[in-house]
Amino acid sequence: MRLLFELRDRLDGLKPNLSTGLLILLLITVSFFVNLGGWPLFDVDEGAFSAATKHLVDSGNYVTPYLYGEPRFDKPILIYWLQGISTSVFGFSEFALRLPSALSLSLWGVALFYFLLQTTNIKVSIFALLILTTNVACIGVSRFASADGLLNLFIALSFFDIYRYWEAQHKRFIYRVFLWIALGVLTKGPIAILVPLASGFVFFFLQKDLKLFLKAVFDPIGWLVLLLLATPWYAAILLDQGQAFIDGFLLKHNIGRFAETLEGHGGNIFYYLPVIFLLLIPFSGLFVPLFSRFSFKTMSSLDQYCYVTFGFVFIFFSLSSTQLPHYLLYGFTPLIILLAQQQESFKSKFLIMLPTFFACGLFLCLPEIASMASEQVKAKDQQMMLASLKDEIDSIYWFSLATLLCLLAWISSRWVQIEHCFYLTAIAQSFFLVLVFIPTIAQVAQSHVKEAAQFANSRDQEVVMWKAHIPSFSAYSVRPVERRTPELEDLVLTRIQHLDSLPDTRVIFSKKGLVLAELVEPFPD
């Protein structure tokens, strides 16, 4: 740790160079790659992306993603292509499927570090990098096989180049912004346009440079870049799927997510207030100086742009009918920049340590939390899964948690300088999350799904999923899995609470409420 601070001080005021770049790249790559394939795929999203990628590679159809034999219109194609390349090189595994996300977060970290090195100083740059690589949200998204890590990279790059354009007023930054937006549109759709466009408009308006903004927005070469990159795939899938793509992708999964609650992911206007605290652990205490000395008129132009961008994301998704925690990541780049600048004025060890001790309280009470949750849920398979948590938490978990608590107590002592507290706390918590906590949760929630798929792979039968949506099973399956009414020769995957709704069956696999069964009698006509 002392070497890190000595390096930081020596680099203070210097411009980026090759050795610095290699060091930073090494640090963040290691942060995002530790135990990358150390647990099974999570459902629903991670399993769905992985199963669709598997079908894409197996079928050779690189235009339309499929899940359960039906087109999957949730997200555009870029993440499937990148996961397909990764699995083709490294084999179909959790590591390969998550690799694009880990690389995206690594590139995000490199871009953030160099942007801040150009606009602030080395201390802010390194502390921002620490926040990015060790907060709960980014640790999670870097190890999640989905489109979110990739989208956040492109939104961050757009943010940096919009600000560079405002400063330098050079057209090359306009073209780069259009490039990042085009790639974002291929990753997740219109949100890659909305966030940069809306926040950029407000920022330029506040700077009384609206003409400069409009000049960029209507730049013909920029639009040519966007259309050349994004149009071919959208045209191809429209030719392949027609109106079904418009209804599924644009109307349902974009406009519909804002206008109405999808898949039970609804909250309220205050939903993101506690969520932002949890996502930013262990840096949540930095909100105190950030907003206690808020003065929009006296802050720098960069800070104004950061507040505008994060504020837009926070307000927009607070008003959305569909709310998920990771939506706030679209505003994390400006938020991290704002938080990183609070380091030197932060004098409270209590506020530094409090979020991590709160997290440790949750880790400590995990069996009790799971037990209470099992009493609240109605589905029998979820009750069985939550009840199994006590058996899955072993001595390694408790020893690791005790070690973390002892380390935190030492960090809290007077022997550790306040400047070092954030670094030590963040790194210690990160290792516990990646090596112990997430694998334990995955073991409880997903290990039996992978076991069921491996069991089904050993039998020469068609597999039918009935009254269940478990896409990770399909990802691990060696043969296509359909969702339909099962027939006599099919192997049926269902949840234990639905077993009585089937005709007479013979159960051949059952674990944590997940059942594989063979029909003894057919469904009545």
353 and 333 housed in the same domain = no
293 and 255 housed in the same domain = yes
d(CA 306, CA 312): 10
Of the three residues 307, 322, 340, the one that is the final residue of a domain is: 340
Q: Is the pTM of this model over 0.75?
A: yes
Mean pLDDT estimate for the chain:
87
- For residue 330, being part of any structural domain is answered with yes
Q: Note whether 132 and 336 are within 8 A (CB).
A: yes
- For residue 270, being part of any structural domain is answered with yes
Task: Give residue 23's pLDDT band: very low, low, confident or very high (50, 70, 90).
Answer: low
Residue 287 has pLDDT above 60, yes or no: yes
First to last CA, the chain: 71
Residue 223: its H or E element? helix 220-241
**How much is the pLDDT for 285?**
87
- For residue 369, being part of any structural domain is answered with yes
220 and 332 housed in the same domain = yes
Q: Note whether 405 and 360 are within 8 A (CB).
A: yes
The partner residues of 463 in beta bridges, in order of sequence, read: 481, 491
Place of tokens 């009918």: 321
Which residue from 47, 68, 65 is spatially nearest to 479, judged by alpha carbons?
Answer: 68
Average pLDDT over residues 14-43: 71
What residues contact residue 379 under an 8 Å CB cut-off, 6+ apart? 495, 497, 513
Structure tokens at 403: 């070690």
The predicted-structure confidence for 233-270, as pLDDT tens digits, reads as follows 999 999 988 888 887 777 665 665 555 545 544 567 88
d(CA 493, CA 510): 10
- Coil/strand/helix, residue 460: coil
d(CA 265, CA 177): 31
Range in 26-40, 88-102, 301-315 with the lowest mean pLDDT: 26-40
d(CA 18, CA 275): 38
164 and 278 housed in the same domain = yes
- For residue 68, being part of any structural domain is answered with no
219: phi then psi, degrees, rounded to nearest 5:
-70, 120
**How much is the pLDDT for 350?**
82
Residue 28 has pLDDT above 50, yes or no: yes
State the residue range of the domain holding 458. Answer: 449-519
Q: Which long-range contacts (CB under 8 A, 24 or more apart) does 239-248 make?
A: 240/63, 240/64, 241/64, 241/71, 241/73, 244/71, 244/73, 245/71, 245/73, 248/71, 248/73
Q: How many CB atoms lie within 10 A of CB 172?
A: 11
Of the three residues 309, 340, 371, the one that is the final residue of a domain is: 340
Q: Judging by beta carbons within 10 Å of its beta carbon (0-12, 13-18, 19+), is residue 170 exposed, middle or buried?
A: exposed
Could you tell me where the DSSP H helices lie in 347-492? 349-364, 366-376, 380-387, 389-392, 395-412, 418-432, 438-445, 447-457, 471-476
Place of tokens 């799927």: 241
Of the three residues 283, 309, 340, the one that is the final residue of a domain is: 340
Structure tokens at 254: 């974009």
Range in 221-225, 286-290, 429-433 with the lowest mean pLDDT: 286-290
**How much is the pLDDT for 376?**
85
156 and 288 housed in the same domain = yes
**How much is the pLDDT for 364?**
93
**How much is the pLDDT for 290?**
80
Which residue from 226, 231, 232, 112 is spatially nearest to 180, judged by alpha carbons?
Answer: 226
What residues contact residue 331 under an 8 Å CB cut-off, 6+ apart? 195, 309, 310, 311, 312, 313, 314
The predicted-structure confidence for 480-502, as pLDDT tens digits, reads as follows 899 988 888 889 999 999 988 88
Q: What is the 3-state secondary structure (H, E, C) of 359-377?
A: HHHHHHCHHHHHHHHHHHC
334 and 369 housed in the same domain = no
222 and 330 housed in the same domain = yes
The predicted-structure confidence for 160-172, as pLDDT tens digits, reads as follows 999 999 999 999 9
What residues contact residue 472 under an 8 Å CB cut-off, 6+ apart? 40, 41, 42, 43, 46, 47, 50, 51, 446, 449, 450, 453
362 and 500 housed in the same domain = no
380 and 326 housed in the same domain = no
**How much is the pLDDT for 15?**
47
**How much is the pLDDT for 7?**
47
**How much is the pLDDT for 250?**
73
Counting DSSP H helices and E strands in the chain, the numbers are 27, 7
- For residue 67, being part of any structural domain is answered with no
Write the single-letter amino acid at 303.
D
Average pLDDT over residues 425-434: 91
- For residue 63, being part of any structural domain is answered with no
Domain total of the chain? 3
Instruction: Pick the most confident of 8-22, 31-45, 192-206, 367-381.
Output: 192-206
Task: Give residue 3's pLDDT band: very low, low, confident or very high (50, 70, 90).
Answer: very low
Structure tokens at 120: 């602030």
**Between β-strands 463-465 and 481-483, what pairing exists: parallel, antiparallel or unpaired?**
parallel
d(CA 290, CA 351): 13
105 and 222 housed in the same domain = yes
The predicted-structure confidence for 317-353, as pLDDT tens digits, reads as follows 888 877 788 889 999 999 999 999 988 777 778 888 8
- For residue 41, being part of any structural domain is answered with no
420 and 467 housed in the same domain = no
Residue 80 has pLDDT above 70, yes or no: yes
Average pLDDT over residues 418-423: 83
Work out the percent of the chain whose per-residue pLDDT is above 90.
59
**How much is the pLDDT for 377?**
86
**How much is the pLDDT for 398?**
95
**CA distances for 466 relative to 114, 482, 507, angstroms:** 51, 9, 14
- For residue 59, being part of any structural domain is answered with no
206 and 308 housed in the same domain = yes
